[in-house]
Amino acid sequence: TDYALLVFDWDGTLVDSIARIVDSMKAAARETALPERDDTRIKGIIGLGLPEAIASLYPEVGDPALVERFRCAYSEHYLAQEAQPSRLFPGVAEAMVHFREAGFRLAVATGKSRRGL
């Protein structure tokens, strides 16, 4: 089959951002006085949009204002870390150049907002 478009996941596939996501979730929990979830549980929500991720980690939280404070705390912490962008995994940049030169269109599929990406 000939493909014209290649779509890649971002976190954990192209970039090594998992530790930043885990750290940011834990920081948001501390800032909002919610219990910190363990690394494995947080890694399990990677790929979800932030509202879905928060709902998955904290299904017991019904207060929309608290959810919004958590979302803001997470976003601020994550974006502050991204002042130094997450590293691409080894070989990713070269592979993207190769795919582009081979005539493929490239895209990213992510649950991140455009700002987060």
Catalytic residues: 9, 11
> What angle do helix axes 50-57 and 64-81 make, rounded to 10 degrees?
120
Indicate the helix (H) or strand (E) that contains 75: helix 64-81
Q: Which two three-digit tokens encode residue 40?
A: 């494995």
**Sequence-separated (6 or more) residues with CB below 8 Å from residue 57:** 25, 37, 41, 42, 45
Judge residue 38's burial from the number of C-beta atoms within 10 Å of its C-beta, 0-12 exposed, 13-18 middle, 19 or more buried: exposed
